Chain A
Amino acid sequence: MAEELHHHTHIEGTTIFDGEMAMKGYALNKMCFSFNRADAREEYLSDPEAYYQKFKLSDEQKQACRDKNVLAMIAAGGNIYYLAKFAGIFKLDVQDVGAQQTGMTKDEFKEKLRKAGD
């Protein structure tokens, strides 16, 4: 895409979820949106590969899901509000997700949050 069509500035460590990312991540986010339903969560857990296929995930998206790699899911177009529903299936909360993305232990990440208040 031509540079002038980008509507945002670069912010370190931050992916702006805009139209471009929304197009890229549509299948992945649609799958995650389905996890609002308990029966969908069960269907996913009984056969994850079939569930990826059902929503036509790209190879990149499938691998990111298999690895439960949040940064890779974001790079593949995942939107954090929908990815949170994926993480929830595995009982991962926003501190688990934060720790994984920043390469910290959960305790280290929680300490980083606490220190923001000092």
Chain B
Amino acid sequence: MARIIGGLTTSHIPAVGNAIHKGLQDDPYWEPFFRAYPPIRDWLGRHKPDVAINIYNDHGLGFFLDKMPTFAIGAAHEYVNEDEGWGIPQLDPFPGDPRLSWHIIESMVADEFDITSCQELPVDHGFVVPMQLFWPGAPHNADMPRTVPISANTVQHPIPTLGRALKFGRALRKAILSWPDDIKVVVLGTGGLSHQLDGERAGFINREFDRYCMDKIVDDPDELTSIGRMELVEKAGAQGTEFLMWMMMRGALGAKVVARSTNYHIPISNTGAGTMLLECTE
């Protein structure tokens, strides 16, 4: 049977992709961010997951406003990192696991989550930057897992509630655990933490709120569901709503987790950057 061994969170800032490309990991600006990753890579190297469920939010590459799915799940053989317009280097395609994707889609819809299934899904920095951070050289890393991308809408309101995101994750857990193959799965929740790119409030970062979210997501994610969507915009910034991905990830991990690694740094680009490794104990 499939097992979920842990959850990984990271910001997915495009500038990080450029920094990797330019080899700036030890640069004084970047080092406090990149230092978070070697311990997580060591853990991944020991456990070698077969599949990475990558929960991210598309930023106007895979979806346009003509049709905007609230929750979309990739069901492709591979995921192509297409040109997203402003020149971060494109990576080679990432291998999918379409049979597992369809199993998850079946299970989620049976559980009354109405999914948009995607047999083609171009993936942007939100998907690829975390892969590069956790599996250097991705997708050409010897331990590169197969992947199932899941994208939630944070481009256009109404966005899902934090409570719905957590329930989504719990249904996702049920779907994965009912997969008969003997595989190890990690779940990535990417994006955030606090940032705002648009408006006179651009540059807003809220360390106190980010720290609160990183604390509560370990042992009491249900408390975070009392935060309303407009309150989330106010406290995390307009794009800090990406914290929804972390909640989806957390729901998939079961009741009890142990935080094996935690890092938080301000600023990376315009963002409070949070990184966590949550190991499952069930």
Q: Which residues of chain A have a CB within 8 Å of any CB of chain B?
A: 7-9, 11-19, 22, 26, 29-30, 32-33, 35-38, 41, 70-71, 74, 79-85, 87-89, 93-95, 97-98, 101-102, 109, 112-114, 116-117
Contacts and interface: CB of A to CB of B under 8 A. Distances in A.
Interface stretch (B45-53, B59-67, B127-135): B59-67
B85 A14 contact: no
A36 to B, nearest CB: 5
Contacts of A116: 203, 205-207, 266-267, 272
What is the interface of chain A mostly: helix, strand, loop, or mixed?
Answer: helix
Contact of B64 (A33, A70, A74, A114): A33
B201 A81 contact: no
Contacts of B203: 98, 102, 109, 112-113, 116
B97 interface: no
Q: How large is the interface on B (under 10, 10 to 19, 20 to 34, 35 or more residues)?
A: 35 or more
A74 B198 contact: yes
A19 B83 CA distance: 27
Interface of B: 15, 59-61, 64-66, 82-87, 155-158, 196-203, 205-207, 230, 233-234, 238-239, 265-267, 269-270, 272
B122 to A, nearest CB: 8
A115 to B, nearest CB: 9
Given A84-B60, A113-B266, 12 more contacts: A9-B230, A17-B156, A22-B156, A29-B64, A32-B60, A84-B59, A85-B85, A85-B86, A88-B87, A93-B15, A94-B270, A117-B265
